[in-house]
Amino acid sequence: MGLNPAIASVSLGASRKFQIKPIGGKPTDFWLEHGSLLIMLPGCQSTHLHQVPKTKKLVGCRINLTFRPHIGGKK
């Protein structure tokens, strides 16, 4: 996937909370609604932690499509 790639993520279906926080910092919450596009810029995964936190509440179905560059590989 290369060194520190950008990642694009599309959420479809039920809304879910997404948390991102700098390593050693405070989290910021976002709501990923149906059709949301989240872009994590190059380097973000090495400087921040991210998650869709678990919940005890019943939530609807959700699909997440994540797009990452693919470098190399077999032909």
Has residue 28 been placed in a domain? yes
Has residue 74 been placed in a domain? no
- DSSP of 2-63, one letter per residue? -SS--EEEEEEES-EEEEEEETTS--EEEEE-TT-EEEE-TTHHHHEEEE----SS----EE
Has residue 2 been placed in a domain? no
pLDDT at position 74: 62
Has residue 24 been placed in a domain? yes
Domain membership of residue 63 as a residue range: 7-67
pTM for the full predicted model: 0.79
Total domains present in the chain: 1
Has residue 1 been placed in a domain? no
Has residue 34 been placed in a domain? yes
pLDDT tens-digit readout, 44-67? 988 999 999 999 998 899 999 999
Q: How confident is the model at residue 28 (pLDDT cuts 50, 70, 90)?
A: very high
pLDDT at 71 over 80: no
Has residue 75 been placed in a domain? no
pLDDT at 72 over 90: no
Has residue 45 been placed in a domain? yes
